[in-house]
Structure 1
Amino acid sequence: MSKIILVTGASSGIGKGIAAFLSEKGYIVYGTSRVPKDEKDFSFELIALDVLKIESIKAAVQFIIEKEGRLDILINNAGMGITGPIEETPTDEMRAVFNTNLFGAIDVMKAVLPQMREQKSGTIINITSIAGYMGLPFRGVYSATKGALELITEATSMEVQPFGINVVNVAPGDFATNIAAGRYHAPVVVESAYREKYQLNLELMDAHVNTGKNPMEMAEKVYKIINTKHPKIHYKVGGFMEKVSVVLKRILSDRVYEKLLMHHYKL
């Protein structure tokens, strides 16, 4: 039997790449979008799901279960970016990103877990970020949402293992997607004490995304994970220095590591 896969946030970027790749491999894939586009552009079925609306999540999951009789894999990819100095980023905007990146992902997990428990099998893959392993300047809120999802993954993994369910995360680095266009950017304020450094870092972020790795690397990693009997909890997909940065965080003193980051981001 072909595995039944749900990929949230599959209308573009990494999510679309993963869904298309898995569909080509013969899996039955359902991608989601808040407002599904013309399906002629997709090799998989695209259905409506808004991670901020519980009833929307439940309806999408129920639709798949009623149609297929099971749900084997959830790839929790839907998310959004945010940039800005902590002092100048509106708190309501911070909450909105936490609601999408963290609580939205949790609510989708809650929706699929009863079916996976009944099956006594299933895999949940949360797409986090290498940025979630460290607090990055002007991306602190985004780092915090992804870091929190990493910890939620660890906790949930232990809770659901007795039911035959695997919960893992995949942390990408910079990939060539349209994520920059969908970010909330705190405005660059002329009289701000952060103006010069923040503007410089916005340009650096966009440059990193524009020269980022091919999203197909994420799709290939996810494919390998779902075909691994006993997957790890943490996976990282990115450039050499992005992966090394996580290792350095563990072995260097806090201030030495901070100086390295400040030098990298020209602070």
Structure 2
Amino acid sequence: ENASGASKPALNPRRIASDIPLKKLRISSEQRTTLETIYELPATTDENQGHVDYLFKLDAADQMNAAAIMAQHGLDIEARAHLANRWSQQWSRAQGKSDATCRVLYHCECGYDHTWNNSKKRQTPLPFTKCLAHTEITYVVSSHKILRIRGYFLHNQECKDALFTRIPPIPVHPSVFAVALAQLRDGSTFTDVKKKNRELFAAQSYQDFPTNLHTSPYRWLLETRDSRSLFRQHNRLNGIKVTEKPQINI
């Protein structure tokens, strides 16, 4: 359905005909069977009745509608940065070179089945309730304008009642990582990185440094445990895939 009901949407027919990559969701066989049944029916205009599919043009009216839906479901950038946000990115794919678009698949953390990869301990700070809520967002990379929102937004009652089993980890602000990655690129050690981090923190010199740290959803001081994530990003920027065998990266 075109959200404003006017001229044709910005996506071409081939992309409109594509399916949501449900295989990328880390869910149980029971959940997968239920979702397959749900998607046997056509998309509806009522989110309380089944899966939905909203298409948007690039004009202001349609983009306002898209922004409202994103905010309603906690999918806007500000909401996803909040520690209590339950959406977890499962997959993404960029398409095209000029006017590139990107598809991103999100899943409710209460629906993530940690035994999917034979894990015995659940790392997600929310219980597994077999929630089926998920959504795929397609947007223009350069402008972040929304082209499509589709998926299944019905959270089960157990999910709605679920409480965090522990405090979610507070993410490091992107500007802290940006400075650290630049240091690693220039040959600095992690000790050097932490030293400069403390200096910039004390001087409040980071970009977007908050006036009130207590209300910031980010951490600004690096910890030893951040080294793994930092070096993984550093390796990725240098074309090294740490998940592959060393001889393949040579």
TM value normalised by structure 1: 0.26
Q: Which has the larger radius of gyration?
A: 2
TM value normalised by structure 2: 0.27
Q: Report 1 or 2 for greater relative contact order, CA contacts < 8 Å, sequence distance ≥ 6.
A: 1
